[in-house]
Protein backbone atom coordinates (compact mmCIF):
# COMPACT_ATOMS: atom_id res chain seq x y z
CA UNK A 1 0.00 0.00 0.00
CA UNK A 2 1.40 3.38 -1.01
CA UNK A 3 3.27 5.05 1.87
CA UNK A 4 1.65 2.48 4.21
CA UNK A 5 -1.49 4.62 4.18
CA UNK A 6 -4.07 1.79 4.27
CA UNK A 7 -7.00 4.09 4.96
CA UNK A 8 -6.44 6.12 1.82
CA UNK A 9 -4.91 3.53 -0.55
CA UNK A 10 -5.82 0.14 0.97
CA UNK A 11 -7.42 -2.73 -0.93
CA UNK A 12 -10.90 -2.00 0.47
CA UNK A 13 -10.92 1.11 -1.73
CA UNK A 14 -10.93 -0.98 -4.92
CA UNK A 15 -14.20 -2.55 -3.77
CA UNK A 16 -16.03 0.49 -2.36
CA UNK A 17 -17.68 1.67 -5.63
CA UNK A 18 -16.37 5.24 -5.23
CA UNK A 19 -14.70 6.59 -8.36
CA UNK A 20 -12.47 8.90 -6.29
CA UNK A 21 -10.80 6.15 -4.24
CA UNK A 22 -8.35 3.47 -5.28
CA UNK A 23 -5.98 0.71 -4.20
CA UNK A 24 -2.44 1.87 -4.85
CA UNK A 25 0.47 -0.49 -4.30
CA UNK A 26 3.92 0.73 -3.35
CA UNK A 27 6.76 0.40 -5.82
CA UNK A 28 7.87 -3.21 -5.63
CA UNK A 29 10.16 -5.85 -7.02
CA UNK A 30 8.54 -8.47 -4.78
CA UNK A 31 6.08 -10.27 -7.03
CA UNK A 32 3.33 -11.37 -7.15
CA UNK A 33 1.04 -8.77 -5.61
CA UNK A 34 -1.89 -10.70 -4.13
CA UNK A 35 -5.46 -9.51 -3.63
CA UNK A 36 -7.81 -11.81 -1.63
CA UNK A 37 -11.57 -11.32 -1.87
CA UNK A 38 -13.66 -13.18 0.74
CA UNK A 39 -17.38 -13.42 0.09
CA UNK A 40 -19.96 -13.14 2.91
CA UNK A 41 -21.76 -16.16 1.42
CA UNK A 42 -20.59 -19.01 -0.81
CA UNK A 43 -21.11 -18.18 -4.48
CA UNK A 44 -20.37 -19.04 -8.10
CA UNK A 45 -18.38 -16.09 -9.52
CA UNK A 46 -18.15 -15.86 -13.30
CA UNK A 47 -16.89 -12.36 -14.13
CA UNK A 48 -14.58 -9.70 -12.79
CA UNK A 49 -14.75 -6.06 -13.91
CA UNK A 50 -11.61 -4.13 -13.10
CA UNK A 51 -10.50 -0.57 -13.78
CA UNK A 52 -6.81 0.26 -13.54
CA UNK A 53 -5.04 3.58 -13.85
CA UNK A 54 -3.44 3.46 -17.31
CA UNK A 55 0.31 3.06 -16.96
CA UNK A 56 -0.11 1.24 -13.63
CA UNK A 57 -1.74 -2.01 -14.77
CA UNK A 58 -1.07 -5.35 -13.10
CA UNK A 59 -0.32 -7.86 -15.82
CA UNK A 60 -0.51 -10.76 -16.23
CA UNK A 61 -3.42 -11.25 -13.83
CA UNK A 62 -4.13 -14.71 -12.41
CA UNK A 63 -7.45 -15.54 -10.75
CA UNK A 64 -7.62 -18.57 -8.45
CA UNK A 65 -10.84 -20.07 -7.07
CA UNK A 66 -10.44 -23.46 -5.45
CA UNK A 67 -9.06 -25.74 -8.17
CA UNK A 68 -9.77 -23.22 -10.96
CA UNK A 69 -6.96 -20.98 -12.21
CA UNK A 70 -7.35 -18.50 -15.07
CA UNK A 71 -4.71 -16.10 -16.45
CA UNK A 72 -5.53 -12.86 -18.27
CA UNK A 73 -3.59 -10.03 -19.91
CA UNK A 74 -5.30 -6.73 -19.02
CA UNK A 75 -4.81 -3.83 -21.45
CA UNK A 76 -2.78 -0.82 -20.35
CA UNK A 77 -5.87 1.39 -20.19
CA UNK A 78 -8.08 3.50 -17.91
CA UNK A 79 -11.19 1.72 -19.24
CA UNK A 80 -13.08 -0.84 -17.16
CA UNK A 81 -12.14 -4.30 -18.43
CA UNK A 82 -14.21 -7.44 -18.06
CA UNK A 83 -12.84 -10.99 -17.71
CA UNK A 84 -15.12 -14.05 -17.61
CA UNK A 85 -14.74 -17.76 -16.99
CA UNK A 86 -16.98 -20.81 -16.72
CA UNK A 87 -19.17 -21.09 -13.64
CA UNK A 88 -17.44 -23.15 -10.91
CA UNK A 89 -19.04 -26.53 -10.17
CA UNK A 90 -18.70 -26.05 -6.42
CA UNK A 91 -19.51 -22.77 -4.65
CA UNK A 92 -16.50 -20.84 -3.38
CA UNK A 93 -16.01 -18.54 -0.40
CA UNK A 94 -13.06 -16.52 -1.70
CA UNK A 95 -10.92 -15.86 -4.71
CA UNK A 96 -7.33 -14.73 -5.12
CA UNK A 97 -6.13 -12.28 -7.73
CA UNK A 98 -2.40 -12.12 -8.38
CA UNK A 99 -0.53 -9.58 -10.45
CA UNK A 100 2.84 -10.93 -11.63
CA UNK A 101 4.17 -7.64 -12.99
CA UNK A 102 3.18 -4.07 -13.77
CA UNK A 103 3.25 -1.79 -16.79
CA UNK A 104 4.81 0.83 -14.48
CA UNK A 105 8.62 0.97 -14.47
CA UNK A 106 8.66 1.01 -10.65
CA UNK A 107 6.19 -1.87 -10.28
CA UNK A 108 3.19 0.07 -8.97
CA UNK A 109 -0.40 -1.09 -9.57
CA UNK A 110 -3.43 1.21 -9.18
CA UNK A 111 -6.98 -0.21 -9.14
CA UNK A 112 -9.98 2.16 -9.05
CA UNK A 113 -12.72 -0.43 -9.34
CA UNK A 114 -13.01 -4.17 -8.88
CA UNK A 115 -16.39 -5.92 -9.15
CA UNK A 116 -16.97 -9.67 -8.99
CA UNK A 117 -20.21 -10.96 -10.52
CA UNK A 118 -21.87 -14.34 -10.35
CA UNK A 119 -24.60 -16.25 -8.55
CA UNK A 120 -25.10 -16.78 -4.82
CA UNK A 121 -25.47 -20.28 -3.48
CA UNK A 122 -29.13 -21.01 -2.77
CA UNK A 123 -29.96 -22.23 0.75
User: Tens digits of per-residue pLDDT, 40-73?
Assistant: 999 999 999 999 999 999 999 999 998 899 999 9
Residue 99 has pLDDT above 80, yes or no: yes
pLDDT of amino acid 1: 43
The rounded mean pLDDT for the chain is 84
- 80-98 pLDDT, tens digit each: 999 999 999 899 999 999 9
Mean pLDDT of the 9-13 span:
50
Q: For residue 9, what pLDDT band results from cuts at 50, 70 and 90?
A: very low
Cα angle at 108 between 40 and 37, to 5 degrees? 10
Q: From start to end of 3-108, where are the E strands?
A: 23-24, 33-52, 61-65, 68-72, 81-84, 92-99
Amino acid sequence: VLNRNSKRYGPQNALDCHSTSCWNSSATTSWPLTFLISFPKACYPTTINIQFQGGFVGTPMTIRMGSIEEEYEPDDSNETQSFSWERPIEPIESLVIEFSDSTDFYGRVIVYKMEVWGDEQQD
